[in-house]
Chain A
Amino acid sequence: QSVLTQPPSVSGAPGQRVTISCTGSSSNIGAGHDVHWYQQLPGAAPKLLIYGNNIRPSGVSDRFSGSKSGTSGSLAITGLRAEDEADYYCLSYDNDLSGSGVFGGGTKLTVL
Chain B
Amino acid sequence: VQLVESGGGLVKPGGSLRLSCAASGFSFTNAWMSWVRQAPGKGLEWVGRIKTKAHGGTTDYAAPLRGRFTISRDDSRNMLYLQMNSLNTEDTAVYYCTTVDSSGFYSIDYWGQGTLVTVPS
User: Which residues of B have CB within 8 Å of A105?
Assistant: 43
Q: How far is the CA of A51 from the CA of B102 in the complex (A)?
A: 12
Closest residue of chain A to B114 (Cβ to Cβ) is A45
Instruction: Write the nearest CB–CB distance from B53 to chain A, whole angstroms.
Output: 19
The answer to whether the Cβ of B44 comes within 8 Å of any Cβ in the partner chain is yes
Verify B63–A52 contact, CB threshold 8 A. no
Chain A residues numbered 86-103 whose CB sits less than 8 Å from any CB in chain B:
87, 89, 91, 93, 97-103
**Interface bits B76-117 vs A (CB < 8 Å: 1, else 0):** 000000000000000000001000010001111111111000
Residue of B nearest to A107 (CB): B43
- Whole-angstrom distance between the alpha carbons of A89 and B43 in the complex? 8
Which chain B residues lie closer than 8 Å to A93 at the CB level? 106
- Please give me the residue from chain B that is nearest to A47 by CB atom: B111
Cβ of A24 < 8 Å from any Cβ of B? no
Say yes or no: is B70 at the interface (Cβ < 8 Å to chain A). no
Q: Which of A45, A91, A100 contacts B63 (CB 8 A)?
A: A100
| CB pair A97 B112 closer than 8 Å | no
The answer on a CB contact under 8 Å between A52 and B44 is no
State whether the Cβ of A12 lies closer than 8 Å to any Cβ in chain B.
no
- The proximity string for B residues 30-51 relative to A, scoring 1 for CB distances below 8 Å and 0 otherwise, is 0000101000000111101100
Q: Please pick, from A45, A48, A101, A103, the residue contacting B112 in the complex, using a CB distance under 8 A.
A: A45
Is B62 in the interface zone, CB < 8 Å from A? Answer: yes
Query: Could you tell me if A34 and B107 are in contact, using CB atoms closer than 8 angstroms?
Result: yes
Residue in contact with A103 in the complex, picked from B44, B101, B110, B114, CB distance below 8 Å: B44
Q: Which residues of A contact B (CB under 8 A)?
A: 2, 33-34, 36, 38, 40, 45-48, 51-52, 55, 57, 87, 89, 91, 93, 97-106
- Enumerate chain B interface residues (CB-CB to A < 8 A): 34, 36, 43-46, 48-49, 60-63, 96, 101, 105-114
